């Protein structure tokens, strides 16, 4: 059982307020012409709206329970035929197709514990792309205020759904616990600075076209959120 299997039933209610990224990724999918691969597709929070916009999506995730929710959502939305859901790890995605766009929304690359694993994930994403294809993803690095306001406190994020953030600034790890009723899970998010991401992307063979600070495409100026739009460059660095 994966860490997300335990919270699949209440992942959508838990993330109900996170809507700012949906239009951003749908617009990127439409611009690419599709099909799109979503790495760590989860419950289809982003993939189902992309499918509703008329773009086919291959969705990869390690959690069968999250994928089951995605399948049900796609069926309810009448777009099950546009969603191809596959159990697998984003570092070795079960995808042989080559596509114009890969996405990895909602900070998911931070589940990769080390820089080595992050680089592995970036290289795997690059390998899925057609020449000139794009990889778009978002991550974050916490602000001082965020750490001070939330550290080690259970907060009711949605009715009956509680969340606790334990920040370890030395290792740059957030241990995030989510609880509803009897079910609880804790997962780690391992953040990096923008310059560190830029170095990894260069090593993985990406040219960074844009680095935004929010989903309205404002340029990044040290905000918590970082949204990268990268293009597969001609050569992969050997670094």
Ligand X SMILES: C[S@@+](CC[C@H](N)C(=O)[O-])C[C@H]1O[C@@H](n2cnc3c(N)ncnc32)[C@H](O)[C@@H]1O
Out of 27, 56, 84, 89, the only residue in the binding site for ligand X (CB under 6 A) is 89
* Residue 73 in the binding site for ligand X (CB under 6 A): no
- Quote the tokens at residue 32: 């690419």
Taking the complex as a whole, the smallest distance from the CB of residue 198 to ligand X amounts, in Å, to 22
105 touches ligand X (CB under 6 A)? yes
Give the chain's length.
Answer: 239
For the sheet with 225-232, list strands across it. Answer: 83-87, 57-61, 36-39, 99-104, 129-140, 225-232, 206-212
48 closest CA partner among 40, 57, 61: 57
We find the least distance from the C-beta atom of residue 40 to ligand X, in angstroms, to be: 3
CA angle 9, 15, 19 (to 5 degrees): 135
Rounded Cα–Cα distance for residues 54 and 116 (Å): 36
Q: Which is nearer to ligand X, 112 or 230 (CB)?
A: 112
For residue 57, give the nearest of 76, 89, 30 by alpha carbon: 30
Q: Does 190 bind ligand X (CB under 6 A)?
A: no
Q: Which of 7, 36, 41, 230 binds ligand X (CB under 6 A)?
A: 41
Nearer to ligand X, 188 or 213 (CB): 188
Q: Does 229 bind ligand X (CB under 6 A)?
A: no
* CB 42, min distance to ligand X, A: 3
Q: Based on CB atoms, which residue is closest to ligand X, 53 or 233?
A: 53
Q: Alpha-carbon distance 217 to 161, whole Å?
A: 31
For binding to ligand X (CB under 6 A), which residues are involved? Answer: 2, 4, 40-42, 45-46, 60-63, 66, 89-91, 105-106, 108, 111
């Amino acid at each position: 059982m994966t860490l997300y299997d335990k919270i699949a039933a209440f992942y959508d209610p838990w993330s109900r307020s996170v809507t700012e990224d949906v239009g951003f990724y749908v617009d990127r999918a439409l611009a690419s012409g599709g099909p799109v691969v979503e790495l760590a597709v989860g419950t289809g929070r982003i993939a189902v709206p992309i499918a509703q916009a008329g773009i086919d999506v291959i969705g990869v995730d390690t959690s069968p329970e999250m994928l089951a929710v995605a399948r049900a959502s796609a069926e309810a939305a009448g777009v099950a035929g546009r969603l191809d859901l596959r159990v697998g790890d984003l570092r070795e995605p079960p995808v042989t197709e080559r596509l114009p766009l890969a996405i990895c929304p909602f900070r998911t690359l931070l589940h990769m514990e080390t820089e080595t694993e992050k680089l592995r994930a970036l290289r795997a994403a690059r390998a899925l792309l057609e020449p000139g294809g794009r990889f778009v993803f978002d991550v974050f690095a916490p602000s001082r205020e965020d750490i001070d306001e939330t550290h080690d406190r259970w907060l009711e994020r949605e009715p009956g759904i509680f969340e606790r953030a334990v920040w370890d600034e030395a290792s740059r790890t957030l241990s995030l616990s989510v609880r509803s009723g009897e079910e609880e899970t804790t997962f780690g998010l391992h953040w990096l600075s923008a310059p560190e991401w830029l170095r990894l992307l260069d090593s993985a063979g990406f040219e960074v076209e844009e680095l935004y600070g929010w989903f309205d495409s404002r340029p990044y100026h040290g905000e918590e959120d970082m949204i990268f739009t990268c293009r597969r460059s001609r050569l992969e660095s050997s670094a």
